[in-house]
Amino acid sequence: MSAINNNCEYISKKQIKITFDGKTYQAYEGDTIASALLRNNIRLVGRSFKYHRPRGIYTCGIEEPNALVQIISEHNEPNTRATIKRVYDGMEITSQNRWPSLRYDFGAINNILSPIFSAGFYYKTFMGPKGFWKNIYEPLIRRSAGLGKPPKNFRSKSTHQYHNTDVVIIGGGLSGLVAAKKFINTKYKVLLIEQDSYLGGILKNSNKVKTINGLIPQEWISETEEQIFNSKNITILKNTLVTTYNFTNHLIALEDKCAGKKIDLNKPELTLHKIRTSNTIIANGHIERFISFRNNDLPGVMLASSFEKYIHRYGVVPEKEPVIFTNNSSSLSLLKTLISLGCKPKAYVDSRKKDNIETEIKKILKEKDILFFSDAEIEGCDGNKKVETITIRQGKTFSKIKSPMLCVSGGYNPDIHLFTQSKGLVKWDKNILSFKPDTPFQKTITLGSTSGNYNFKKLCDEINEKLSILKTKKVLLDINLNVPNKFSIKELWETKKKRISRWSKSFIDLHNDVTTKDLRQAITEGFDRIEHLKRYTTNSMGTDQGKISSINSLAIVSKMLKKEISEVGTTTYRPPYAPLSFAAIAGRSTYEFYDPERKTSIHSWHLKNNAIFEDVGQWKRPWYFKTYENETMHQAVQRESKMLRENAGILDGSTLGKIEIKGRDALEFVNLMYTNAFSKMKPMTSRYAMMLGEDGMIKDDGIICKISDQHFIATTTSSGAPKVLADMEEYLQTEWPHLQVYLNSITEQFSTFNISGPKTREIMMKVFPDIDFSNDAFPFMTFKNFDYKETKIRIMRASFTGELGYEIYITPKFGLDLWEEIFSCGKEFNLIPYGTETMHLLRAEKGYIVIGQETDGTVTPIDLNYNWMIGKNKKDFIGKRSLSRPDTSREDRKQLVGLSPINKKDIIEEGQHIVELNELPKKITNPIKYLGHVSSGYHSPNLNHSIGLAMIRGGKNLLGQKFFVTATGKTKNIPVEIVNPVFIDPENKRLTS
Amino acid sequence: MILIKCPYCGERDQSEFTSGGEAHVVRPKNPDSLSDKDWGEYVFYRNNPKGIFYERWVHSHGCKKWFNAVRNTSTDQILKVYKVNEKRPDFSDFENTLKSPSGEPSVGSGNFAVKK
Ligand SMILES: [Zn+2]
């Protein structure tokens, strides 16, 4: 039975109600889920990961491997550590990984089948047959393994906060507080970070320390905290866990803003602190480790210092008469605590020889008449879903003791996780039998038990000495102890098993259900490198990262390999220290804040006219316009395309990238960046141009407008604009700093409209009655500037549809006015708005390519038959030399062709393969010869059949030949003819009409 | 995330910068005069050492200036930053700097966190 420690000052006496698996329980404000459950005598809290074995509360903190629960009242938050999550009134909790109920779990059959679940089980078992993984294994594993269920309908309000400080102290325990004291009222900006809601660490978790400077620990903590709090240069963060220690002293810490409170939907529940500091002091203490013995996972087995922490920190005595099993001197403090509360351990089992056991321990045990076993160990324990009988081995004799709880201490590990994350080197210490920090890689100082110093009396000297480089004042510390000053320990990692039944297991990793037998098996199979062994057995790969057991596994493995533990080494400690919620990482960058939306000045008009939008980069562009309720995309695009070629259409092209290129050497620069020759080009004319990479492959295209030799405007693809500008900048700064050229992004300075179709000239003449749009006055690929109302406009004769067309540039301020003016003038000519899908269809009919559709980073202008765009007489331009590389000038490269179906009803789909077979074999045994792929496929309303653009090997020489195109879900292929990719107006009569 | 000192703006978070690969790879003056092999090496071949590396960075979310840096690739320490028009610092300036926290071998990876 549990009991209450009324002397506990860290927990309020305010009673609240929580529910666990549907039943209501009483708890105190300040309890964790675990302390509340123990208060109510609940020991079984979950089922294990692989074997579904009953599990209880093993620890009292962040290191917990077992007691993971799901919080129903917090959007189903799964895998919550019951040992750190604080309760509040009305909190709803359920256990995890059990079906149909915690007591009767179906998956426990895995435990009986355990011989097949041994090391490497996943790798070995699920190798075949083909198709089994997807249909059988994966769904099965997903249901029976894994922990908890994902949260539902949760919109996080987490925020990020940034800090720049001089000193960060991680851990507000004894060492952290003494260190912080040294910085009181100094010039240093200090951040003191504590994971718990109280400062004090070991002082409040145990009775190891009797007095400090004459004060009882609680008084000393309060006094010190007040001094630190009043010092303006020090900030204290509580409920905050440092999870990550990066290069250049960059720390990430997670603050729980609603610890012990119900989530307020209007406030951030988590804050992620991103801290840049000059010095880091790690004082986050140590973690107790367990010992492997038979059934060391039964509910009722608990770490000794955790047991003690429940008494001092939460006022719960989990059990009045436990058995204590230890291999070191520190368990004296638990013994004393229990005696002081009038409780009496059933037995005290110490693996050390009697002579090596402290006299004080022996004296108490004798006085209180407690069963004492020295030079002894726990062989194992048994019971139904809880510890009932404990078997003790002393020499050759076995004793059985009935007790529901067993407290285990296998020694302490300095918490080196953050230190190794910072790339510091650790070293094996024979006195404490653990790794401790050795050489720091950054400006990192470790203090107290983190640094392997378990001697309270030496703590003050250590802190004064290590912090002397920061020139702080000396502090004095007079500590009186309840435990021996000198830490003594005997090596013990695993006890000998007496009998072996299938159910009996000796665990090394409770979280992932790895047994010591699995370690042996893995080594026998050749996985003798620690990093391999870890992955093969999944040892210490759970969410607890083996905090209480990883050193044990290294020790056991080193014994099996007959090597020194430092030779075996540790596995890599990687951030985060403890699981970090994705909500905290994302912060406010979710939903509408995830990525900005860019809208053109015409956006409101598009909305009013039922535009369906497409995302192009961050831009919202009309994809097509719906003219009636049930109009499908196909119908709309066919209508828009036909109407444009009959009358006229207008496209909002404002998203097109525009870069202004100015300066003395602008002409030379443009000649170097683009393939075309610009020198002989007349001012106020424009040219379709291509930009290559140095490898000769097409990167971007656009129209270059030449105002003068010192002034150009380049347009780019909508999504390529930032990259093109960055590339131009790079060449200017790094390769040609002697060129006097200035670049400026002017994309957003203009609204751009592309108007085209046979009736365009009439519409333009009506909108701009003063301008002469005749072919002679305004030929194809020229542009002019005009005054228009109170602003200026630029009109260029250009087209991406193959019809007569103009591009109008106007300041966005007047963009919408002009757009509406054009529509009122265009009404009598049946002018329609069209979207990007129609634009793509029309350009495909005309054989114009789209970057990223026909090209994919492996296509040269020659592959597209665009040789005319290459300024062959230019000495140099980016990519020129690569065009004559043997691979780039191969005859059988994939080249652009058009596809026309032989049977006009067949549909050519984008992305399909071009092959020589008219039908695919039922069973494919040999690779089918692949000739190329369909890069664009549309139904052309103007030709009334399907058309395609394709990239085919040696395509230039295949005109007129017949091949086949594969089709979705069919084995019969579509016969097609290779044709000229220009389907409409190959003579460019319409373009220049 | 490391700190990078832009020679124009000062120390900023790495997230403000974009890496530009190996530095001091100069674009040939007369590409046409190069053999296919030499041109191919200019376009496709870059060094990727474990240890001291001369590389380019651009302060892409800042002043947008390109600059050079000397970084120890096994520790991510930036040993020097300098402007594009400044002289390439001598390799010997950095030879005595800590090459890796644990004296790892010059090739390959692995965990060497334990002091022998
Ligand atoms: Zn800068």
Three-state secondary structure string covering A744-808: EECHHHCEEEEEECCCHHHHHHHHCCCCCCCCCCCCCCEEEEEEECCEEEEEEECCCCCCCEEEE
Q: In this structure, what token pair is assigned to residue A98?
A: 């059990």
Domain that holds residue B35: 3-93
Cβ contact A85:A239 at 8 Å = no
Please list every residue in chain A whose beta carbon sits closer than 8 Å to the beta carbon of residue B75: 247, 423, 441
In-domain check, residue B45? yes
CA distance A199 to A285: 13
Q: What's the confidence (pLDDT) of residue A111?
A: 67
Cβ contact A815:A598 at 8 Å = no
Q: Which of A97, A104, A519 is nearest to A292 (CA)?
A: A519
Q: Which residues contact A501 (CB under 8 A, 6 or more apart)?
A: none
Please list every residue in chain B whose beta carbon sits closer than 8 Å to the beta carbon of residue A428: 114
A464, containing H or E segment: helix A459-466
Residue A539 has pLDDT above 80, yes or no: yes
A874 at interface of B, judged by CB pairs closer than 8 A: no
CA distance A777 to A66: 83
Nearest residue on chain B to A574, judged by CA atoms?
B111
Residue A117 has pLDDT above 70, yes or no: no
Sign of the torsion angle spanned by Cα atoms A523, A531, A55, A40: positive
β-bridge partners, A662: A711, A742
Residue B24: give its domain's CATH number.
3.30.2270.10
In-domain check, residue B8? yes
Please list every residue in chain B whose beta carbon sits closer than 8 Å to the beta carbon of residue A438: 115
Residue A757 has pLDDT above 90, yes or no: yes
Alpha carbon of A138 to ligand 1 centroid (Å): 50
**What's the pLDDT tens digit per position in B22-52?**
999 999 999 999 999 999 999 999 998 888 9
**Domain-by-domain residue ranges, chain A?**
1-152, 156-287+411-487+570-595, 507-561, 607-654+750-843, 657-748, 890-993
Number of CB pairs, chain A paired with chain B, less than 8 A apart: 92
**What's the pLDDT tens digit per position in A622-633?**
999 999 999 999
Q: In this structure, what token pair is assigned to residue A733?
A: 């700064």
For an interface test with A, the pick among B2, B55, B56, B114 (most A C-beta atoms closer than 10 Å) comes out as B114
Whole-complex ipTM = 0.94
* C-alpha A580: how far from chain center: 10
Nearest residue on chain B to A441, judged by CA atoms?
B101
Burial of A692 (0-12, 13-18, 19+ CB in 10 A): buried
Alpha carbon of A137 to ligand 1 centroid (Å): 53
A223 at interface of B, judged by CB pairs closer than 8 A: no
pLDDT grade for A583, boundaries at 50, 70 and 90: confident
- Residue type (1 letter), A548: I
Cβ contact A336:A207 at 8 Å = yes
Domain count, chain B: 1
For A607-654+750-843, CATH number out of 3.40.605.10, 3.30.70.20, 3.30.1360.120, 3.50.50.60 equals 3.30.1360.120
Reduce the DSSP state of residue A559 to 3 states and report it. helix
**What's the pLDDT tens digit per position in A247-296?**
889 999 999 999 999 988 888 999 999 999 999 999 999 999 999 999 99
Question: Maximum Cα–Cα distance for chain B, whole Å?
Answer: 55
**What's the pLDDT tens digit per position in A807-857?**
999 999 999 999 999 999 999 999 999 999 999 999 999 999 999 999 999
**What's the pLDDT tens digit per position in A846-867?**
999 999 999 999 999 999 999 9
CA distance A966 to A937: 13
DSSP secondary structure string for all residues of A190-203: EEEE-SSSSS-THH
CATH entry 3.10.20.440 includes domain A1-152? yes
Alpha carbon of B65 to ligand 1 centroid (Å): 6
The total of other beta-carbon atoms located within 10 Å of residue A701's CB is 24
Angle (deg, nearest 10), helices A530-537 and A516-524: 120
- Measure Cα distances from A752 to A142, A932, A981 in Å: 53, 36, 28
Of B31, B66, B85, the CB nearest to A730: B66
CA distance A282 to A448: 9
Alpha carbon of A252 to ligand 1 centroid (Å): 25
β-bridge partners, A919: A972
Residue A146 has pLDDT above 60, yes or no: no
Nearest residue on chain B to A886, judged by CA atoms?
B36
Alpha carbon of B17 to ligand 1 centroid (Å): 9
In-domain check, residue B108? no
Alpha carbon of B57 to ligand 1 centroid (Å): 10
Q: In this structure, what token pair is assigned to residue A737?
A: 């700093």
A317, containing H or E segment: strand A316-317
CA distance A22 to A952: 66
Q: What's the confidence (pLDDT) of residue A121?
A: 60
In-domain check, residue B116? no
Give how far A566 is from chain B: nearest CA, Å. 7
CB contact under 8 A, B3 and A250: yes
Quick one: A657-748 is in which CATH superfamily? Aminomethyltransferase beta-barrel domains (3.30.70.1400)
CA distance A721 to A656: 8
Q: What's the confidence (pLDDT) of residue B76?
A: 86
B102 at interface of A, judged by CB pairs closer than 8 A: yes
Q: Which of A289, A323, A307, A329 is nearest to A493 (CA)?
A: A289
For A890-993, CATH number out of 2.60.40.10, 2.40.30.110, 3.40.50.2000, 2.50.20.10 equals 2.40.30.110
Q: What's the confidence (pLDDT) of residue A11?
A: 87
Q: What's the confidence (pLDDT) of residue A113?
A: 63
Please list every residue in chain A whose beta carbon sits closer than 8 Å to the beta carbon of residue B76: 247
B115 at interface of A, judged by CB pairs closer than 8 A: yes
CA distance A955 to A892: 8
Alpha carbon of A745 to ligand 1 centroid (Å): 19
Nearest residue on chain B to A247, judged by CA atoms?
B2
A744 at interface of B, judged by CB pairs closer than 8 A: no
Cβ contact A453:A464 at 8 Å = no
Fold of A156-287+411-487+570-595: FAD/NAD(P)-binding domain (3.50.50)
Angle (deg, nearest 10), helices A459-466 and A174-182: 40
Please list every residue in chain B whose beta carbon sits closer than 8 Å to the beta carbon of residue A418: none
Nearest residue on chain A to B99, judged by CA atoms?
A441
Give how far A736 is from chain B: nearest CA, Å. 10
Q: What's the confidence (pLDDT) of residue A504?
A: 86
CA distance B24 to B31: 17
In-domain check, residue B83? yes
**What's the pLDDT tens digit per position in A416-472?**
999 999 988 899 999 999 999 998 989 999 999 999 999 999 999 999 999 999 988
pLDDT grade for B98, boundaries at 50, 70 and 90: low
Mean pLDDT, residues A128-139 taken together: 58
Of A425, A735, A880, the CB nearest to B113: A425
In-domain check, residue B99? no
In-domain check, residue B101? no
Mean pLDDT, residues A190-197 taken together: 97
CA distance A96 to A146: 9
Q: Which of A985, A954, A946 is nearest to A865 (CA)?
A: A954
Nearest residue on chain B to A422, judged by CA atoms?
B101
Cβ contact A980:A959 at 8 Å = yes
Q: In this structure, what token pair is assigned to residue A325?
A: 């099993």
Nearest residue on chain A to B58, judged by CA atoms?
A730
Residue A130 has pLDDT above 60, yes or no: no
Alpha carbon of A59 to ligand 1 centroid (Å): 50
A520 at interface of B, judged by CB pairs closer than 8 A: no
